[in-house]
Amino acid sequence: MALGEGAAGSVVPQRLQTRIKRIALVLVAALVAVFVTVPVYVMVAVAVQSPAAVFRGGDVNLLIDSLTLRNFRVLIEDTNTIQYFANSLIVTASSTVLSTALAVAAGYGLTRFEFTGKTVAARAVLFAYMFSPIVLAIPLYVIFFSLGLLNSYFALTMALTAISAPFTIWLMWQYFQTVPISLEESAWVRGASRTRTLWDVVLPVARPGYISAAIFSFAVAWNDFTMSRVVMSNDEMYTITVGASLFLDRVTIGWGETMAVSLLICIPPFLIAVFLQNYLLQGFNVGGLE
Amino acid sequence: MARPIHLDSVRKEYRSAGSVHVAVDDLTLSIPEGSFTTLVGPSGCGKTTTLRMIAGLETPTEGRLSFGDEDVTGQSPQDRNCAMVFQSIALYPHMTVRRNIGYGLKVQGVPKDERDRRIDEAAETLQITEQLEKMPAELSGGQQQRVALGSAFVQDPDVLLLDEPMSDLDAKLKAELRVEVQRLHQELDATVVYVTHDQTEAMTMSDQVILLNQGRLEQFAPPGELFDAPVSEYVARFIGTPSTNLLPATVAETDDGYALAGDGFGVLAPADRFADRVGDSITVGIRPQYLSADGGDYELTVIAGVVEQLGTEFVVHGHTPDGTDVDAVSTAFGAVEHGDELVVGFDPGDLFVFDADGRTICHGDALAGETPRQSP
């Protein structure tokens, strides 16, 4: 067998391979981009034009040739959208904070302390993550009903945290394992207490990890429909996802307003993606989710 | 203020899944205050565990540990005035060099002006003033190690612990930092305990060397004594490069008295030590440096294998006719080639004699008095 036979470049020249790889990459990226951007474009086009302009002549006219805030005005004047949006912000913020704090505490504990039942606890966390929200929804409904907590921010925050926490705990557990123990030990030897070390040394080093965890729990909470639908039955307490889904049942609300509310729903995740994307990638790399 | 460190029957075991691993076993020793003491031994001999117990990062399973008169066995690392330099360097990646060095002082509540003054002073001593505002990731390995030393230095510790701080550095940097560490020791009023697996570091830097063997104390002595008067075969093999040659021999009774008879030599031995050992297998140790190309009271035949040049000296790795490995070092071996048969000489005064268990029976000075009968 000749030297180098069977190695890369023996059948197809190296340079051609590189070129094919690059072209394939561009093609796949373009395809994905089309699939993602077209619906978003349709949403924006319908949201920022008046229904009369969009549906003129019996067709759906998707070229944006006029701009109006009419749809948004209808939302604000005729519906509870602002209330829904506020509800969503409140429960999402509380659940994000709670889930991240829980993940940091549990992840640190699982990484740095030995205790009986540790493996069982860790497995239980992962197992809990396998449940779909709807499986948890009915038991949670029964629990919150018995406790008289239905239609409360507290109940929804707890329910949403129950969905996101298993994953965030697991993520932080993985992330803390990448923080060398010697960093902590060196702080202890210099006189810093365990708590102080956690604040001064561990958390700053683990920042990409807990930001990822926060982003994940934000996404779970913000996009949640199931839990909100089950826990909240009062119109005043609906989150934006549930509220928006009910618009279509109403005679006074059309596609224009529905797309406008969808656009509103997209804004917070978009802002987060823009400002925190680097952290998100770093955190998930460690979690083995490249 | 420097404090002596006393270990009293210290034992450390690790339990996992039903098995017990003894890392340090019945270690008793006193490290004098202000001394530079090196803990040395091969990987897994318990030296790092011992250091971590002194730092308070591990608690002894049994035994007592004290700094001077103060029992610190159960004290947390925060309460002992120790400073430690880690093998992994352990700089905080999110702090500048200045904040890294000053972190310990900040924790202790030293005001900022005072902190900065001490940081600048330490930085000057270690020649890292220009790096103070950089992040650790921007520094080279040697500079990072200097920062770690600086962090320890500003603490003004009673006890300075260094855990293989140079194992990841190249030879040139090692030599440079070795001097730096010694200078630090002179400037600081601290008892320094230094862990290394590199016996050159141990021999060149320390006042005292602690050689451990599988968690037990093998020998605790100044470097020179470790070299000249090892208490066992293990010490003789570990200290010195190349390792001490070990030649199997038996104690024989001859017309002239007693002799240590090996392959091609019979060294006369004093009756008081060997009369009751006739017939025993023993091992004769001789350092490669003491095998000379000419002269010596006794002779040994060596068949050369590999010859290495070390500057002006040549190291011959060979074996005796019966297959025992022998190394010899001399400036006179330049012309030796593979397969050559050499006759090297040695003096009884340079020998070590070990019993079958590897303990030292006597050193060369006990043999030197017995002059061989000169052949006419």
Return d(Cα A33, Cα A30) in angstroms, integer: 5
Nearest CA-CA distance, residue A269 and chain B, Å: 28
ipTM tops the 0.90 cut: no
Same domain for B20 and B77, yes or no, is yes
Return d(Cα A181, Cα B90) in angstroms, integer: 9
Residues composing chain A: 290
> Looking at residues B261-265, what average pLDDT do you find?
83
Same domain for B34 and B149, yes or no, is yes
B281 neighbors B354 (Cβ within 8 angstroms) = no
Same domain for B243 and B180, yes or no, is no
The pLDDT value recorded for residue A288 is 45
Q: Tell me the per-residue pLDDT of B17-67, one tens digit each, with 9 for 90 and over.
A: 778 889 999 999 999 999 999 999 888 899 999 999 999 999 999 999 999
- Label residue B133 by pLDDT band (50, 70, 90): very high
The pLDDT value recorded for residue A239 is 93
Domain with residue B188: its CATH number is 3.40.50.300
Asked which of A88-97, A215-224, B247-256, B361-370 is least confident by mean pLDDT, the reply is B361-370
Specify if B373 maps to a domain. no
B266 neighbors B301 (Cβ within 8 angstroms) = no
Q: In A201-224, which positions are buried (b, 16+ CB within 10 angstroms) versus exposed (e)?
A: bbbebbebbbbbbbbbbbbbbbeb
- Label residue B376 by pLDDT band (50, 70, 90): very low
What is the 3-state secondary structure of A60-123?
A: CCCCCCCCCCHHHHHHHHHCCHHHHHHHHHHHHHHHHHHHHHHHHHHHHHHHHCCCCCHHHHHH
- Label residue A284 by pLDDT band (50, 70, 90): low
Q: Of all residues in chain B, what percent carry a pLDDT higher than 70?
A: 98
Same domain for B36 and B175, yes or no, is yes
- Label residue A290 by pLDDT band (50, 70, 90): very low
Domain with residue B342: its CATH number is 2.40.50.140
Average pLDDT, chain B: 89
Q: Which domain-ending residue is among B173, B201, B231?
A: B231
Average pLDDT, chain A: 87
Q: Is the pLDDT confidence value at A119 over 70? A: yes
The pLDDT value recorded for residue B246 is 92
Specify if B375 maps to a domain. no
Which residue of chain A has the CA closest to B80? A189
Q: Which domain-ending residue is among B231, B263, B278?
A: B231
Return d(Cα B142, Cα B136) in angstroms, integer: 11
Query: CA nearest B137: which of B173, B171, B100, B168?
Result: B100
Instruction: Name the residue with higher pLDDT: A205 or B370.
Output: A205
Specify if B374 maps to a domain. no
Return d(Cα A114, Cα A44) in angstroms, integer: 53
Return d(Cα B210, Cα B47) in angstroms, integer: 9
Query: If residue B19 lies in a helix (H) or strand (E), which one and from where to where?
Result: strand B19-31
Q: In chain B, what residues touch A181 (CB-CB under 8 Å)? A: none
Same domain for B107 and B217, yes or no, is yes
Same domain for B350 and B293, yes or no, is yes
Chain B interface disruption, residue of A112, A186, A198, most B CBs within 10 A: A186
Q: Is the pLDDT confidence value at B93 over 50? A: yes
Same domain for B204 and B255, yes or no, is no
Residue A138, classified by CB atoms within 10 Å of its CB into exposed (0-12), middle (13-18) or buried (19+), is exposed
> Looking at residues A116-121, what average pLDDT do you find?
87
Cis status of the peptide bond prior to B242, with omega within 30 of 0: yes
Same domain for B216 and B256, yes or no, is no
* Count: domains in chain B: 2
Q: Do B104 and A190 touch (CB under 8 A)?
A: yes
Same domain for B263 and B175, yes or no, is no
Specify if B286 maps to a domain. yes
Specify if B71 maps to a domain. yes
Q: Do B90 and A191 touch (CB under 8 A)?
A: no
Q: Tell me the per-residue pLDDT of A6-53, one tens digit each, with 9 for 90 and over.
A: 555 567 788 888 999 999 999 999 999 999 999 999 999 999 988 888
The pLDDT value recorded for residue A183 is 93
Query: CA nearest B90: which of A194, A197, A288?
Result: A197
Query: CA nearest A178: which of A286, A285, A103?
Result: A286
Nearest CA-CA distance, residue A40 and chain B, Å: 39
Q: In chain B, what residues touch A204 (CB-CB under 8 Å)? A: 92, 94
Q: In chain B, what residues touch A200 (CB-CB under 8 Å)? A: 103
Same domain for B181 and B253, yes or no, is no
Chain A interface disruption, residue of B84, B118, B167, B168, most A CBs within 10 A: B84
Return d(Cα A121, Cα B325) in angstroms, integer: 56
Q: Which domain-ending residue is among B231, B262, B294?
A: B231
Q: Is the pLDDT confidence value at B256 over 80? A: no
Q: Tell me the per-residue pLDDT of B309-343, one tens digit each, with 9 for 90 and over.
A: 888 889 999 999 888 899 999 888 888 888 888 88
Q: Tell me the per-residue pLDDT of B180-236, one tens digit each, with 9 for 90 and over.
A: 888 888 888 899 999 998 888 888 889 999 999 999 999 999 999 999 999 999 999
Q: Is the pLDDT confidence value at A2 over 70? A: no
Query: Strand B36-40 vs strand B208-213: parallel, antiparallel, or unpaired?
Result: parallel
The pLDDT value recorded for residue A134 is 86
Residue B126, classified by CB atoms within 10 Å of its CB into exposed (0-12), middle (13-18) or buried (19+), is buried
A280 neighbors A211 (Cβ within 8 angstroms) = yes
Which residue of chain B has the CA closest to A181? B90
Q: Is the pLDDT confidence value at B375 over 80? A: no
> Looking at residues A228-256, what average pLDDT do you find?
86
Q: Is the pLDDT confidence value at B255 over 90? A: no
What are B212's strand-pairing partners?
B217
Return d(Cα A74, Cα A79) in angstroms, integer: 7
The pLDDT value recorded for residue B211 is 93
Give the residue numbers spanning the domain of B179: 5-231
Same domain for B249 and B307, yes or no, is yes
Q: Tell me the per-residue pLDDT of A57-96, one tens digit each, with 9 for 90 and over.
A: 778 888 888 888 888 998 888 888 999 999 999 999 999 9
Specify if B39 maps to a domain. yes
Same domain for B89 and B165, yes or no, is yes
Residues 6+ apart with CB under 8 A from A236: A80, A83
Specify if B135 maps to a domain. yes
Q: In degrees, to the nearest 5, what angle opens at C-alpha B7 toward C-alphas B1 and B11?
A: 140
Specify if B216 maps to a domain. yes
Q: Is the pLDDT confidence value at A4 over 70? A: no
Chain B interface disruption, residue of A183, A189, A202, A211, most B CBs within 10 A: A189
Which residue among A191, A193, A207 sits closest to B108, beta carbon to beta carbon? A191
Q: Do B78 and A183 touch (CB under 8 A)?
A: no
Which residue among A186, A192, A196 sits closest to B90, beta carbon to beta carbon? A186
Q: In chain B, what residues touch A193 (CB-CB under 8 Å)? A: 78
